[in-house]
Amino acid sequence: MGEARDLLDRMTEAMLRGDADTLAHCYAEDAVVVTPDQGEVSGRAAILDYFRPFFEAFSDIGWEEIQRHEAGNVAIDEGFFTGTHTAPLANPGAEPIPATGKRVRLRECDVATVADGRITSHRMYFDQMDLMNQLGLTQ
């Protein structure tokens, strides 16, 4: 296992545990995360602020792996984010989404590039509409 694979695995485990310190330590100070819901999130502190609402809103976060890859300084994970929505979820530009009590299983893909022992670029892909549907927020 190479450095990229190790870092993406540590980042995922920290997210599952709600371990903000370890999560922050996985990213370079000037890292960039590109997300489907908030676009580009720059800097370690902002990245942690992006992830925190997810591990606070979903009480039993899980990860169901489909595939894992590593090539040089890039690691890729494809799988399902799972969890029960038990606390308000931040909603950019609007009021937080109150807890629905709904269980979600959301297909996701992560592509992380590393340098000097930290993630420098992390691109995330998931379907926002699928999440809203599973939370019962669409008709």
Residue whose token pair is 């591990």: 55
Residue ranges covered by each domain of the chain: 3-134
Mean pLDDT, consecutive 10-residue stretches, the chain (139 aa), reads 94 93 96 94 95 89 96 98 93 86 96 97 95 89
For residue 53, the model assigns a pLDDT of 87
User: How does pLDDT run across 71-86, given as a tens digit for each residue?
Assistant: 999 999 999 999 999 9
For residue 59, the model assigns a pLDDT of 83
| Whole-number Å distance between alpha carbons of 63 and 72 | 24
* Mean pLDDT, all residues of the chain: 94
Fold of 3-134: Nuclear Transport Factor 2; Chain: A, (3.10.450)
For residue 116, the model assigns a pLDDT of 95
Using alpha carbons, list the distances in angstroms from residue 38 to 21, 66, 95, 124: 22, 25, 15, 11
